[in-house]
Structure 1
Amino acid sequence: MPEQLVLVDDEPGLREAVQAYLEDSGYTVHTASNAREGWDTVQRVMPDLVITDIMMPQVSGLEFLKQLRDDPRFETLPVIFLTARGMTNDRIQGYDAGCDAYLPKPFDPDELVAIVTRILKQRAAAKVSSGDSDADIAELSRQIAEIRAILMQRGAIAQTPAPMKLDFTPREQSVLDLVVDGLMNKEIARRLDTSVRNVEKYVSRLFSKTGTNSRTELVRFALEHGLTTPASH
């Protein structure tokens, strides 16, 4: 089944062009002309990803994103901002608000498709079957122990600065710490009193922020750059 996207933009021409391009790329796209329509559409469709403009009348894209993040159903729903505002401070404001990607207008539609595809692939990679087996946990623990041993030999744990500024939310940090401890999504969900689906989304966002594509890559990256909280180890 094609992934479901919601596109929110008050420019009819752009909205129709982007919808057509995304649908040609294999996605199902539901459109809305403003944030209020977008909110209704998101609740009805329960999409895999939202694309929204920032500069909209009445309710801005930033306010729309805050509305999504304040709702437990959508607190980790991937959101891409499309906007004519391309200044650094505006991008920082968008990322601080919790968007997953930021694409200033005018943009290449192929770039948008590439960003959508990357985010959805990372989200899919974060998914683990609800029945985490002992073998899954044992194998992940073995891999993590091996990574720790290699990095200890190199003296790299918690000593190398991350190549980029990474700001994790408190919940993202908690999930990262538990992933590094070798826990699977089902156990993380129990520890944090949330759903497996939400854990999958948090792990996907960690993949996106760190540029990794698997749990072992994420663990290695976190250990190499000292991104876990000391109290958890």
Structure 2
Amino acid sequence: MSETLPQNVEAAPSPRLLLVDDEPGLRTAVQAYLEDEGFEVTTAVDGDDGWQKAQEMLPDLVISDVMMPRCDGYGLLKRMREDERLGGTPVIFLTAKGMTADRTEGYLAGVDDYIPKPFDPEELVARVRNVVRRQDRLLREAARFADTDVGQMARQITEIRTMLAHGDGSSSKDVALHNFTPREASVLQLVAEGLMNKEIARKLETSIRNVEKYVSRLFIKTGTSSRTELVRYALENQLVT
């Protein structure tokens, strides 16, 4: 017997899946099974078709075959990982290949999970649910970090700027060399202005997860480990205005 939600509680929307496979029979069967499990499923016949539909629907998860005509699974994955809106979307590969080297290639390319054919439909559903839950957890954590005390961060930035203006900060004597992408530079500037991840995502029209990814890259490239350290480093090296 299904439970009735309280009137003031909205049911969570069904995860939107994009299923990409050139085998009509498998595509139809998997779509039907996933829809019976409560997922909203859109299908595509190959990587090119999948890329177009992914841009239109912005799915919560992509399930893709690897060997397909025109554009294979790796080509689709590469396009997604390079795209601002789709870069953080989880991807599961379905493939007839079962060799360790093939799985390793998939993981190195940025795939989130890998299921060799033939597979048990119940295992597929379990893995899909696991990846969706993991994505939801990451987004909640990103939102929690984005909701930290903005006032405290702004005060810290003001203090850093004041110290540097009065010569109280130890400015780097050696010129630091950096290779920031345009997007990383934009994120760095907005962090230095005191914006939190949610605000940066809104301003750059991207996802919070993508902002977290860029901030993490900035930590690595600058050798810092917190937003305050990152801002101080950027100001000392005149990387931001």
1:232 to 221, 224, 238: 224
- Segment of structure 1 superposing worse, 35-44 or 189-198: 189-198
Greater mean alpha carbon deviation, residues 5-14 or residues 191-200: 191-200
> Is the CA contact 2:201–2:207 (under 8 Å) kept in the aligned structure 1?
no
Structure 2 unaligned residues grouped into runs of 5+: 1-12, 153-179, 185-194, 214-219, 226-241
Q: CA deviation at 1:86?
A: 0.9
Q: 1:198 aligns to what?
A: 207
Q: State yes or no: 1:88 paired with 2:100.
A: yes
Q: Which amino acid aligns with 1:132?
A: D
Please show how residues 1-233 of structure 1 align to structure 2 within 5 Å. 1-125=13-137, 126-127=139-140, 128=143, 132-134=147-149, 187-188=196-197, 198-200=207-209, 231-232=223-224
Q: Which amino acid aligns with 1:31?
A: T
Amino acid at match of 2:56: R
Alpha-carbon deviation of 1:231?
3.7
Could you tell me whether the CA contact under 8 Å between 1:78 and 1:100 is conserved in 2?
yes
Matches of 2:72 and 2:84 in 1, distance apart?
20
Higher RCO, 1 vs 2 (CA within 8 Å, ≥6 residues apart): 1
State whether residues 197 and 212 of structure 2, in contact with CA within 8 Å, keep that contact through their aligned partners in structure 1.
Answer: no
- Match of 1:232, as an amino acid? T
Unaligned runs of 5+ in 1: 138-169, 175-185, 205-227
Q: How many residues align?
A: 165
* Cα distance change of structure 1 residues 134 and 202 upon mapping to structure 2, 3 Å threshold: closer
2:207 is paired with a residue whose SS is: helix
> What SS class does the counterpart of residue 41 from structure 2 fall into?
strand
Q: Do the aligned partners of residues 107 and 201 (structure 1) sit closer, same or farther apart at CA in structure 2, a change above 3 Å counting?
A: farther
Contact 2:92 2:115 in 1 (8 A): yes
What RMSD in Å do the two structures reach over aligned CA positions?
3.4
Cα deviation for residue 190 of structure 1 reads 6.9
Change (3 A) 1:19 1:82: same
Q: Which runs of 4+ in 1 moved over 4 A?
A: 188-197, 201-204
Q: After TM superposition, give the deviation of residue 200 of structure 1 in Å.
A: 3.2
User: Structure 2-normalised TM-score?
Assistant: 0.59
Q: What amino acid maps onto 2:97 in structure 1?
A: R
Q: Which structure: larger Rg?
A: 2
Asked if 2 retains the 8 angstrom alpha-carbon contact of 1:52 and 1:80, the reply is yes
C-alpha displacement of 1:121: 1.0
SS of the aligned residue for 1:232 comes to coil
1:5–1:29: 8 Å Cα contact kept in structure 2?
yes
Aligned identity (percent) is 43
State the Cα distance separating 1:134 from its structure 2 match. Answer: 3.5
2:33–2:121 CA contact under 8 A, matched in 1: yes
- Distance in 2 (CA, whole Å) between partners of 1:32 and 1:119 is 20
Aligned CA distance change for structure 1 residues 231 and 192 (closer, same or farther; 3 Å): farther
Deviation at 1:89, TM superposition (A): 0.8
